[in-house]
Amino acid sequence: MIVRQAVNVLEILEYFARVKKPATLAEIADHFGWPRSSTFNLLTTLAEKGYLYEPRPRAGYYPTPRWLVLAREVAEVEPLPGWTRALITALSAETGETVAIVAPSGVMAVFIDVVESAAAIRYFAKVGHRVPIHATSSGRALLLQYSKDERDSLYRKIEFKQYNHTTPISIDAVEAELRKSLERGYCQSFADYSRDLAGVAVPLPIGERRLSVVVAGPEYRIGDKTAAIAVTLQQAVERFRAK
Amino acid sequence: MIVRQAVNVLEILEYFARVKKPATLAEIADHFGWPRSSTFNLLTTLAEKGYLYEPRPRAGYYPTPRWLVLAREVAEVEPLPGWTRALITALSAETGETVAIVAPSGVMAVFIDVVESAAAIRYFAKVGHRVPIHATSSGRALLLQYSKDERDSLYRKIEFKQYNHTTPISIDAVEAELRKSLERGYCQSFADYSRDLAGVAVPLPIGERRLSVVVAGPEYRIGDKTAAIAVTLQQAVERFRAK
DNA sequence: CTAATAAATTCACCTGTATGTACGATTGAA
DNA sequence: TTCAATCGTACATACAGGTGAATTTATTAG
DSSP string, A20-43: -S-B-HHHHHHHHT--HHHHHHHH
Please, are residues A99 and A114 in contact by the beta-carbon 8 Å criterion? Answer: yes
Task: Point out the least confidently predicted range of A28-37, A225-234, B156-165.
Answer: B156-165
- Residue B18 burial class via C-beta count within 10 angstroms: exposed 0-12, middle 13-18, buried 19 and up: exposed
Under the banding of pLDDT at 50, 70 and 90, the label for residue A243 is: low
Q: Which residues of A touch B132 (CB under 8 A)?
A: none
User: Can you tell me whether residue B197 is helix, strand or coil?
Assistant: strand
Residue B187, pLDDT > 90, answer yes
Q: What is the pLDDT of residue B157?
A: 85
Q: Could you tell me the residue ranges of all domains in chain A?
A: 4-75, 82-242
* Whole-angstrom distance, CA of residue B133 vs CA of residue A106: 47
The A residues from 130 to 149 touching B (CB cutoff 8 Å) are 130
User: A28 contacts in B (CB within 8 Å)?
Assistant: none
Which nucleotide C1' is nearest A34 CA? D19
Q: Are B41 and A3 a contacting pair at CB < 8 A? A: yes
Rounded Cα–Cα distance for residues A137 and A191 (Å) = 10
List the single residue in B with minimal CA-CA distance to A70.
B17
DSSP A88-148: HHHHHHHH-SEEEEEEEETTEEEEEEEE--SSSS-----TT-EEESSSSHHHHHHHTTS-H
Domain A82-242, CATH class in plain words: alpha beta
Kindly state the percentage of chain A with pLDDT values over 90: 74
d(CA A31, CA A74): 30
Find the helix packing angle between B148-157 and B171-184, rounded to 10°.
140
Instruction: For A114-157, write each residue's pLDDT tens digit.
Output: 999 999 999 999 999 999 999 999 999 999 999 888 898 899 88
Which residue has better confidence, A27 or B201?
Answer: B201
| Residue B229 exposure: Cα atoms within 13 Å on the Cβ side | 28
Q: Which of B2, B7, B9 to mutate to test the interface with A (most CBs of A within 10 A)?
A: B9
Contact: A127, B7; criterion CB under 8 Å: no
- Mapping DSSP to helix (H, G, I), strand (E, B) and coil, where does residue B41 land? helix
| CATH number for domain A4-75, candidates 3.30.9.10, 3.40.30.10, 1.10.10.10, 3.40.50.300 | 1.10.10.10
The verdict on B101 touching A (C-beta cutoff 8 Å) is no
Residue A184 contacts B, CB cutoff 8 Å: no
Residue B102 parent element (H or E): strand B98-105
Q: What is the pLDDT of residue B243?
A: 63
Residue A55 CB-half CA count within 13 A: 21
- Report DSSP state, residue B34: -
Contact in structure between B136 and A58 (CB atoms under 8 Å): no
Identify the residue whose Cα has the smallest distance to the C1' of D7.
B26
Mean of per-residue pLDDT scores for chain B: 92
What letter does residue B80 receive in the DSSP assignment? P
- Residue A50 three-state SS: coil
Residues of A in contact with B62 (CB under 8 A): 74, 77
Facing residue for B70 by CB, picked from A14, A53, A64: A14
Q: Which of residues 26-45 of B touch strand D (CB under 7 A)?
A: 26, 36-37, 40, 44
CB burial class (10 A; 0-12, 13-18, 19+) of residue A27?
A: middle
Amino acid at B192: D
- Sequence-separated (6 or more) residues with CB below 8 Å from residue B176: B168
Q: Which 89-148 positions of A have CB less than 7 A from strand D?
A: none
Cβ-nearest to A21 among B17, B77, B130: B77
Residue B188's pLDDT band (boundaries 50, 70, 90)?
very high
Mean pLDDT of chain A: 92
CA of B14: which chain A residue's CA is closest?
Answer: A70
- To 5 degrees, how large is the angle CA A98–CA A101–CA A106? 120
* Gap between the Cα atoms of A14 and A63, Å rounded: 11
DSSP secondary structure, B211-230, as one string:
EEEEEEEEHHHHGGGHHHHH
Which protein residue lies nearest to nucleotide C16, measured between its Cα and the C1' atom?
A4
pLDDT-derived band of residue B208, with 50, 70 and 90 as boundaries? Answer: confident
Residue B63 near residue A21 (C-beta atoms within 8 A):
no
**DSSP reduced 3-state for A208:** coil
pLDDT of A182 above 80: yes
Q: So what's the pLDDT on residue A167?
A: 87
